[in-house]
Structure 1
Amino acid sequence: MVLRLTCLASVAMAALVVGAPAFAQPPSPQPAPARPAEEDEDIILQADVVEEDRDSSVVTASGNVEIRVGDRTLKADRVVYDRVKQTVRAQGNVQIMDGQSQVQFADEIEADEDFRNGFATRFSSRLGPSGLVTASSAVRTDATINSLEQVVFTNCAMCEEKGYEPSWALRARRATLDQKEQMITYQDAVLEVKGVPILYVPWFAHPDPNSERRSGLLIPDVGISSKIGPFYEQPYLWVISPSEDLVISPMISTNVMPLLKLNWRKRFFSGFIQAEGSITHEQDFDSDGNKIGDNTWRSHLYAVGRFNINEDWQWGFGIERQTDDLYNRRYDIDGEDDLRGLVASQPRQLLSQVYVTGQEPDFYFEAGTFLFQGLRASDEDARIPEVLPALFVQKVFDFGANGQLATDFSAVGLLRDEPTLVTERPPLTLDTARATASAEWGSQYVVGPGFVVEPFASGRGDAYYLDDGGAAGSRTVSRFLGIAGATVSYPLISRQAGMDIIIEPIAMAAYGTPDANKLTNPNALPGDIDYGRTIIPNEDSLVFEADESNLFKPNAVSNYDLWEGGARAAVGVSASAQIGSDIELSTIVGRRWRESADPAFNELSNLREETSDYVASVRADVGRIVNVGARVRMDNELEISRLDLDASVNFWRVSGNARYFRVDRNAAGLQDEGLVWSGSFAVDDRWAAVVEQARNITQNKDIRLSLGIKYQDDCSFFMIAYERSGGRDRTLGPSESIRFTFALTGLGGFSDADTD
């Protein structure tokens, strides 16, 4: 049965029940629709049986009772509505829904007629997707505040299984749930883990899981370190506005002066800014906490911003600066390697940049200014140039069957400000400026029985301004370069039941402007300090290697300062197989030939001699179970000079990934071999053992080693791990630590710092 009861109009009530002191009717198939809440809201009542005592003006509903007032709904087994007192008493399986995804339960409640204020026994409420708060009794006032007695709160999914204990729960003598402020405060609170009390606090508060961002204390970091001693870091979140916040994190410790960390974020209509930094006034100190040198201000700043100018253009910036090379390592500050702009920094090198980009279907533009700060012991800031600026513009013209023409313009300026550097041998060019204009045409045709022919041609002009700081004087150098040739391939395809195989022989031949890398001393011999030194200084191709990724490119050098001249050719074969829907195999192998050797290229480049080493790669992807890949470089005797192996596995209870590498000669001219791997073994659905290792095999020592155990379920995460760092960087040497991490969904996370 459905009744509409006007709260303040007894005439309407009488009209619905006229004719008998009590009555009952079968329920209506559909309840009447709720109307928007107003000052005089209607009550929509639905129940199996509705009775009224006209003398006392009491309406009693029983059996699947549902009452709606505006956007609020009450469900119960039995409801008694007193029109005179304007109160509602609900009994048995009571549920109240406030229209904002908040549901409350009770055995019995007594409330005013719009359910804004009242009293409940054996009260519980759903908070967010999985949060649950229960209490022996609750008093609701001001339509938003629930005062609770004998309270339990958890964010774990509850199970009706007898004896079930949630991973964690917060018990308190009294609590207040403020729905307007979206905060829960507790008095005499105890944190329990699997029913075991582990922490007592006289007062505690946290946001309602339905809450939006709000200011308040975050979970602290507490720990002990051999570098800074026992310490305590307390973050505080200040929500300045819906689009801006600031985390202030002072840290105090026993061995060093306090450190203040800040993390500021702001979102604008067209973009965002995020900046994090820290500051302290302290001496240097080593890995054992021994202090060195004078007290001074020390700090760091990492910031990033990006803004849309319109749909196609944007600009941005990145800032990475710190006062000391080892500052971030001394205080265990993360974020050094994060991408903060157009260009990524190299390990142990900070990069600040300002840039603008624009992109359309046939046009691309980028320009930027880049400043570097070296953090390695061998870095000399005077040797590291400032890039002021770098510019690249490309326009593509599509001629359909006649191919595409890409026209480019590139310019860069590299500045150094230490004239004394010209006394070095070999001398170092201080300032370099380059402007390049180029045009590149390419097309593709299928001829004969299926040969794919891709002719290409390009022309380029370079103009350089060079300044040696007075030793050799400033000068200009220009050159005009061109290349033409073709790539031919013949893909062979075999389709079988459950398997597709493609084998594709590939050949490339081209001729380019010869002798473009002019040498300062053409008569220099290997071992001479001037051997291979070019008139145009090599600034952008210092660490370069021709491998399978650029095997068939006309000019294997992707940058500008070096040029691969004369005749060249490359031959190889590519093959792939698709087996079913999960297994994919692929490989490529080949080598490159040149008309003549060029000492301008170093041995790492694989382009110095007339014949390159063999280069190859192979990969096997077996769905999500196993992925394995290898990249290799071999000389004429098929001896391996470079090997890269990578693998990942996710099978049964084992998951992990690994990378092994070995090179006969790295960029520093030294042999290098290493292994980086990590993995986990799931003991069951929640417990797992984890391991991570980075090992320098050449030096026979671990760079990093971590062994641990972790637990994770739907509402908590716990991990304890032993970590060892074997690296040494000036005053910071090897260290060991025990790392403890504990996070509770709905309350935040706790992570202690390393115990070195």
Structure 2
Amino acid sequence: MRLVWILLALLLPQVAVAQMAATLVADDVFVEGQDRLTAQGNIEVLYQGSRLTASRVIYDKPTDRLRIEGPILITGPDGEILTADQADMDPKLENGVLLGARLVLDQQLQLAANQIDRADGRYSQLYKTAVTSCQVCAGQKPLWEIRAEKVIHDAEAQQLYFSNATFRVKGVPILYLPYLRLPDPNNTRATGLLLPRLQSSNRLGIGIEVPYYIALSDSRDLLLTPYLSSNSRTLTTRYRQAFRNGTVSVTAAGSNDDLGVSDGLRGYVFAEGDFALANGAKLRFDIQTASDAAYLSDYGITDVDRLSSIVALTKVTEDVLWSTSLSYYQTLRTDERNASLPPLVASAGLVHRFYPAMGGTLTATASADTLLRYGSATGQLGRDVTRTGGSLRYVRDWLSGTGVLVTGTGALTADVWQVNDSDQFDATIARAVPYAQVLLRYPLVRRNGRTRHVLEPVAALSWSRLLGGTPPNEDSTRPELDEGNLLALTHFPGQDAAEDGLRLALGLTWTRAGSEGVTSTLGFGRILRADADPQFTRTSGQDGDVSDWLVAGQIILPRGLTFDGRALLQDDGTTTLATARVFWNRPEVQLAGGYIWQQADAAGGRPGTVSEYSLDGTVQLTPAWDISFDTRYDIARDSPVRAGIGLGWRNECVAVSLSVSRRYATSTTLRPTTNYGLSVALQGFSANGVPRIAPTACRG
């Protein structure tokens, strides 16, 4: 804005020739003597995005001052608005006085004062000031305002400094602060207090958390969140830093509470980082640890029942992938021990693709992994296993003259296992598995106007043979038939288990893409085996010589609505697995729901039937009101798992949210917990701000 005043000075005859960049419009412009210029009547000055309007401007050359008569309106290129009744300024607007002034920042925060003093083009000092972002109507008190004896606005630092400030609600004084500093609305990253939150829990009691954000530098910040309640004293910290080649984030908390779980300090640490190294390599780590099994649940941080920490180094190019990782697992379940998970898992692998002159793709793989359990136990609870192996796979496609796509695959895997602390397996076990597969696809396409139908029958004839010993199965204990592995060489997710014999996978997929924007897919599949494989459990869908029917479908509707489902059906119509999901993603609605049913299977690690649904979402009821909800219900046990609801209201100057949540889980370490939350945000000071809403019109 200060450049506008420079341009006003350029109206003088001796400089008008040199600079013609500004535009001045006025009813009358005249010169008095040799050193006084007056412009009056509907004055408008435009320059580089700034605009000044006034009724009269007088420039006095001997004093180098501008006297401006209002009503004065100055609009800056960044959206700031300054109004005044009259002003006495230097031509650069760096120093001067404005009377009866009002400053509007980011079109939302209003600062009205009897007088504004400008200094050095950076500071605006306001006296007897009222600050609010609420609609101000004649004869009515705003919903909230801050009255201060003095306010200093630092335009460069984008900060507001209050002296002798009183916070008022509908004109009633609520809080007095001798000194207060807040960011202005244009400040996207400012040190200071963030939104406080009032919480109530039947475990922790009534408490309040007050986050304090510290911008350490352009690439580092720290968030301190003290929480005080009748049963807990907690400090949560979050440190973030951005480097030239990556980022690091560490969140930790320490609590001294009266819950009786531990006599000492409780807490947790979560840390994650991602770095791009030389030659395309990437380093990633994700560390998770907690002082006890109940801490994360007691403080509502997460409901996970196992914590995983991993450090991984990977590199991916067009034809080569290599990776190495080290993982540590910590159980929060009452029926597990860390020593037998296993807690330590190390792995390394290399994948290289080649393109032989005869066509097709040859993929070579080398890998190794180690599972370490600590403790004195033997057998499954104490054994340590190391696997080292490699594989070769050759794949080639042919397209027949009738449109049938033929894919031939040949593969060979060879592995050696070293087993310690086990009385069930030999110390060294070697195994090789050759694979062969012929896959046929015959896509059929039909068009009806702008609607397209695609019908694709598929058949995959596969063969494999186990040569050698049988290792312990650590990574394939829960195989399950689905759309992703119906046509695969092996239906086990890991490398410890492998199939033996001849099998035929059959499938049929129908896809419709309609002109009305609806896309639907329906698929069926089944596996026929020469001999039943005893490694598959009853609920995997693959026990016996004939698998269950795999049925899967999806419907994508306009306006962001999606349904999908999958089921494993036996010949008599009974099912061992059924899942369904719905998603609705619109600006005014975000909804996600799901249902799962799984039959009990002790051999598959599932002693009881699983039957539950979950539903969560957010709905914008009106521009001012929104509601959110979250629920999960265990139908098999006829018991809720969790439930929560939140209600939010906002207008142009305030946002209020109220939430209630209940966790029903019970164990030796977890207790049912009910939490209440209340937060109030004032529009105009938050660095990120609450979403804006148009103010209501004033009523006469």
**TM-score with structure 2 setting the length:** 0.88
Partner amino acid for 1:33? A
1:487 alignment counterpart: 439
| Alignment partner of 1:608 out of 543, 558, 561 | 543
Please point out which of 494, 502, 505 is paired with 2:457.
Answer: 505
Cα distance change on mapping 1:406 and 1:302 into 2, 3 Å: same
Equivalent in 64, 69, 85 of residue 91 of structure 1: 69
Q: What residue number does 1:684 align with?
A: 622
**What is the CA–CA distance in structure 2 between the aligned matches of 1:711 and 1:352, rounded to whole Å?**
39
Give the structure 2 partner of residue 22 of structure 1: none
User: Which of the numbers 402, 410, 417 marks the counterpart of 1:449?
Assistant: 402
Query: Are the equivalent residues in 2 in contact too, given 1:544–1:604 (CA < 8 A)?
Result: no
- The aligned residue for residue 240 of structure 1 is 216
Deviates more, 1:73-82 or 1:196-205: 196-205
Deviation of 1:631 after TM superposition, in Å, equals 0.6
Task: Please tell me whether residue 707 in structure 1 is matched to residue 650 in structure 2.
Answer: no
Map of 1:723 onto structure 2 = 661
Unaligned runs of 5+ in 2: 691-700
**Residue number in structure 2 paired with 1:127:** 105
Tell me if the contact between 2:288 and 2:309 (Cα under 8 Å) persists in the aligned partners.
Answer: yes
Where do residues 243-392 of structure 1 align in structure 2 (5 Å cutoff)? 243-256=219-232, 258-281=233-256, 285=259, 291=260, 295-310=263-278, 312-332=280-300, 334=301, 336=302, 347-392=304-349
Shift of residue 594, structure 1, vs aligned partner:
1.7
Query: Hey, what does 1:641 align to over in structure 2?
Result: 576
CA offsets per residue over residues 315-345 of structure 1, 9 Å max, x none? Answer: 121111111111122233x2x58xxxxxxxx
Matched-pair contact (CA < 8 Å) for 1:511–1:567 = yes
1:81 is aligned to 2:81: no
The 8 Å contact of residues 387 and 412 in structure 1, kept in 2 or not, is answered as no
Cα deviations across residues 463-492 of structure 1 (Å, max 9, x unaligned)? 1111126x5687211111111121111111
What's the counterpart of residue 40 of structure 1?
none
Asked if residue 433 in structure 1 is aligned to residue 381 in structure 2, the reply is: no
Per the alignment, do residues 646 and 199 of structure 1 end up closer, same or farther by CA in structure 2, a change over 3 Å counting? farther
Cα distance change of structure 1 residues 465 and 655 upon mapping to structure 2, 3 Å threshold:
closer
SS in 2 for 1:211: coil
For structure 1, which runs of at least 5 residues remain unmatched after alignment? 18-27, 35-43, 286-290, 338-346, 519-534, 752-756
Q: Which moved more, 1:307-316 or 1:733-742?
A: 733-742
1:526 aligns to what? Answer: none
Measure the CA separation in 1 of the matches of 2:430 and 2:239.
48
Task: Specify the code of the residue in structure 2 equivalent to 1:698.
Answer: A
Q: Structure 2 CA distance, aligned partners of 1:70 and 1:608? A: 76
Which stretch shifts more, 735-744 or 111-120? Answer: 735-744
Deviation of the 1:126 alpha carbon: 3.6
2:521 maps to 1:586: yes
Matched, 1:571 2:502: no
Task: Tell me by how many angstroms 1:584 deviates.
Answer: 0.4
Q: Distance in 2 between matches of 1:555 and 1:713?
A: 58
Alignment partner, residue 83 of structure 2: 105
Amino acid in the other structure paired with 2:160 = I
Q: Output the CA distance in 1 between the equivalents of 2:463 and 2:69.
A: 92
Could you give the per-residue CA deviations for residues 163-206 of structure 1, whole angstroms, max 9, x where no partner exists?
A: 9998765454542222233211334555567x575843334331
1:616 and 1:6 map into 2 onto residues whose CA distance is: 76
Aligned match for 2:33, one of 50, 54, 73: 54
Q: Is the 8 A contact 2:195 2:681 kept in 1?
A: no
Counterparts of 2:489 and 2:139, CA distance in 1: 72
Using the TM superposition, give the Cα deviation of residue 627 of structure 1 relative to its aligned residue in structure 2, in angstroms: 1.9
Select 1:214's aligned residue among 190, 205, 213.
190
Q: For the residues of structure 2 that align with 1:251 and 1:9, how far apart are their CA atoms? A: 57
Shift of 1:586: 0.3
Q: Alignment partner of 1:580: what SS?
A: coil
Structure 1 pair 567–121 and aligned structure 2 pair: CA distance change class (3 A): same
Partners in 2 of 1:5 and 1:664 — Cα distance?
79
Q: Does the aligned pair in 2 maintain the 1:235–1:249 contact within 8 Å?
A: yes
Kindly indicate whether the alpha-carbon contact (under 8 Å) linking 1:434 and 1:462 is maintained by their aligned counterparts in 2: yes
Render the CA deviation track for 1:626-676: whole Å, top value 9, x for unaligned: 322111111121212211111234699876332111111264232110010
Q: 1:105 to 1:746 in 2, by over 3 A?
A: same
Distance in 1 (CA, whole Å) between partners of 2:397 and 2:139 is: 72
- The residue type paired with residue 175 of structure 2 is Y
The corresponding residue for 2:411 is 458
1:622 corresponds to: 557
Q: CA deviation at 1:372?
A: 0.6
| Distance 1:476-1:715 versus aligned 2 partners, 3 A rule | farther
Partner Cα separation in structure 2 for residue 664 and residue 9 of structure 1: 85
Q: CA deviation at 1:625?
A: 5.2
Structure 1: distance between partners of 2:173 and 2:387 = 66
Secondary structure at 2:297 match in 1: helix
Aligned-pair CA distance for 1:311: 6.1
What is the alpha-carbon distance in structure 2 between the residues aligned to residue 555 and residue 354 of structure 1?
A: 29
How far apart, CA to CA, are the structure 2 residues paired with 1:219 and 1:592?
A: 57
Q: Considering only aligned residues, what root-mean-square deviation do their CA atoms show, in Å? A: 3.5
* Conservation of the 8 A alpha-carbon contact between 1:72 and 1:99: yes
User: Aligned to 2:472, what secondary structure does the other structure show?
Assistant: coil
2:23 matches 1:32: no
Q: Check 1:405–1:125 CA distance in 2 against 1; reply closer, same or farther (3 A cut).
A: farther
- Cα distance in 1 for partners of 2:617, 2:47 equals 56
Paired residue for 1:344?
Answer: none
Q: Which amino acid aligns with 1:508?
A: A
Using the alignment, how far apart are the partners of 1:473 and 1:614 within structure 2?
Answer: 36
Q: Distance in 2 between matches of 1:308 and 1:615?
A: 42
Question: Residue 431 of structure 2 contacts residue 467 of structure 2 at CA under 8 Å; is this kept in 1?
Answer: no
Cα 1:696–1:146 change in 2 (3 A) is: same
Counterpart Cα distance in 2 of 1:53 and 1:260:
69
Quote the offset at 1:576 in angstroms.
0.5
Measure the CA separation in 2 of the matches of 1:196 and 1:365: 67
For residues 76 and 622 of structure 2, the distance between their equivalents in structure 1, rounded to whole angstroms, comes to 40
> Hey, what's the Cα distance between the residues in 2 that align with 1:589 and 1:236?
56
My pick for the range that moved more, 70-79 or 492-501, is 70-79
TM-aligned CA deviation for residue 515 of structure 1 = 6.8
**1:410 maps to which of 335, 349, 367:** 367
CA contact 1:5–1:13 (8 Å) conserved in 2: no
Aligned length: 682
Q: Relative to structure 2, which stretch is displaced further, 238-247 or 560-569?
A: 238-247
Q: Is the Cα–Cα contact under 8 Å of residues 239 and 245 in structure 1 kept in the other structure?
A: yes
C-alpha distance in structure 1 between counterparts of 2:33 and 2:106, whole Å? 42
Partner residue, 1:734: 672
C-alpha deviations, 1:285-320, integer Å up to 9, x for none? 2xxxxx356x22322110011111136211121111
Task: Provide closer, same or farther for how the CA distance between residues 132 and 406 of structure 1 changes in structure 2, counting only shifts above 3 A.
Answer: farther
After superposition, the C-alpha distances for 1:82-119 in whole angstroms (9 at most, x for unaligned) are: 11111111223434466666442323221112210111
- TM-score normalised to structure 1 length: 0.82
- Partners of 1:623 and 1:5 in 2: how far apart? 55
Alignment of 1:658-677 (within 5 A): 658-665=593-600, 667-677=605-615
Residue 456 of structure 1: how far off its partner (Å): 1.0
* Distance across 2 between alignment mates of 1:150 and 1:69: 32
1:461 Cα deviation after fit: 0.9
- Residue of 457, 474, 493 corresponding to 1:558: 493
Residue of structure 2 equivalent to 1:23: none
1:711 alignment partner, SS class: strand
Contact 1:110 1:119 (8 Å CA) reproduced: yes
**Cα distance 1:397–1:80, how it changes in 2: closer, same or farther (>3 A)?**
same
